[in-house]
Amino acid sequence: QEQLVESGGGLVQPGGSLKLSCSASGFTFVDYWMYWIRQVPGQGLEWVSIVSNGGDRTYYAESVKGRFTISRDNAKNEVYLQMTSLRPDDTAVYYCNTFARAQGVWGQGTQVTVSA
C-alpha cells in the first residue's frame, strides 16, 4: 500500500521559485532513495533529481543543475524539490517516486507552469 502524494505546484513567472513536497506512506521511507521526474504533455518522462536514503548524496539532470535542490526529512516521511530560476521549459507535471516497488509508486503529480 505504498503511497506518494505530491503538492506545491502552481503558476509562477520565469525566474521565480516554487517548492514541491512529496509525502510518503506505506513503506520504510528511510530505507529508500527518492527521486523526482517530470512529464510534459506529448513527451516522455524526464528524470530530474535523486537523493540518497540518508539525504547525503544528491544528483541532478544537467537541465536543472544549479537551479533545483532536492532534500528529504525522514522524520516527516517527506521529500522536497526547491526550484529556483524557473524557466518556461520547466513546465511539466512533477512526480516523486521510489524504488520501494519495482514498477514505481505513482501519485497524482503536481502541475508546475512557468509563464508570464
pLDDT, tens digit, 9 for 90 and up, residues 8-64: 999 999 999 999 999 999 999 999 999 999 999 889 999 999 999 999 999 999 999
Q: Which three cell numbers stand for residue 81?
A: 524539490
Task: Return the C-alpha cell found at 68.
Answer: 533545483
Report the pLDDT value the prediction gives residue 32, as an integer from 0 to 100: 96
pLDDT of residue 52: 98
Tell me the β-bridge partners of 62.
none
pLDDT value of position 81: 98
Which tens digits make up the pLDDT trace of 59-75? 999 999 999 999 999 99
Report the C-alpha gap between 38 and 73 in whole angstroms: 21
Residue 18 is predicted with a pLDDT of: 98
Residue 41: what pLDDT? Answer: 85
